[in-house]
Every structure is written in structure tokens, then in C-alpha cells.
Amino acid sequence: RTIICSVNTPRSDVFDMFDSVLLLSGGGVVYSGARTQVLQYLSEHALHCPPHSNPADFLLDISTVDPEEGQGACARREQVDLLVAHWTVRQPPPTTTSEDGSATTLSPPSSATLSPDALQLQHPSSFVALRVL
């Protein structure tokens, strides 16, 4: 059985109970997968959760763009857009099934026209499960 819910910055002990995490920002997927791998994935992009911090707070901080920040908001939006683009590119290309039941892999856009918006539409993320007690 799968339960899907939105939990805004749970306590760290509650966050540790999750199997999977779907991190969104501005409608784009920043990360979707195992909770145990999210901090490692972000550290590969030079985003490190400070020691003794709640990982859920860290995830919220790196994925939130506050327009009131002015120049800081522009830099944060660029960072989030890059994370969304990186996540989307690493996903396997989507497939479609024809009427005869055969599966066809959809071609990604050429790198010359690659933009975060195009990537988001071409490679939707799949969310498997989230365990909530």
C-alpha cells in the first residue's frame, strides 16, 4: 500500500521514517528517490547539510526561492533550476506504448535546445512510495 502526503519540514526523527522523498521547487523535481540517498546526491552538487541540522530544514532551504531576497532570489532560482535540470537529465528517457503493445523510447531533445523547462516536460519523475506513521 502506498501513502502519499505533503509534509512541510518534519522533525528529523519523523523525516528518518520516510522511505522516499520527492523534493519539488517551482513545479520541477529537485530529487525523487530514497531518503537515505538525498543528502549524498545533493553533496555531489556541492550542497552539504550542516552537521547537527535537520535534513528536512536543509532540503527546504535549498529548494525555496523567496522573491523578497532580490539578488539572492535570482542566484537561488539559478541554483534550483540547475538542480532540476541535473535531476531530469539523469532519469531514464520515458517510453510510450503503441496500440500493438510495443514500447518505444522517446528521444530527448537535442542538447542545442536543452533547457530546464524542456527537460522537465520530456522526463517526468516517477514517485514510488512514502511511508508515514
20-72 residue pLDDT tens:
998 988 888 999 999 999 999 999 999 999 999 999 999 988 888 877 777 77
Residue with cell 528529523: 12
In Å, what is the CA distance from 22 to each residue of 114, 122, 125?
23, 18, 9
17 and 132 Cβ atoms separated by less than 8 Å? yes
- DSSP 3-state of 31: strand
**86-133 per-position pLDDT tens digit:** 888 876 655 666 677 666 655 544 443 444 444 443 444 444 444 443
Helix (H), strand (E), coil (C) string for 32-57:
EEEHHHHHHHHHCCCCCCCCCCCHHH
Task: Give the pLDDT confidence score for residue 10 in this predicted structure.
Answer: 87
Find the helix or strand (DSSP H, E) in which 106 lies: none
Q: Packing angle between helix 55-63 and helix 71-90, nearest 10 degrees?
A: 110
Q: Where are the alpha helices (DSSP H) in 23-133?
A: 35-43, 55-63, 71-90, 116-122
Task: Give the pLDDT confidence score for residue 50 in this predicted structure.
Answer: 94
In Å, what is the CA distance from 5 to each residue of 2, 15, 18, 22, 129?
10, 13, 11, 10, 10
**In terms of pLDDT, which residue wins out, 79 or 116?**
79
57 and 9 Cβ atoms separated by less than 8 Å? yes
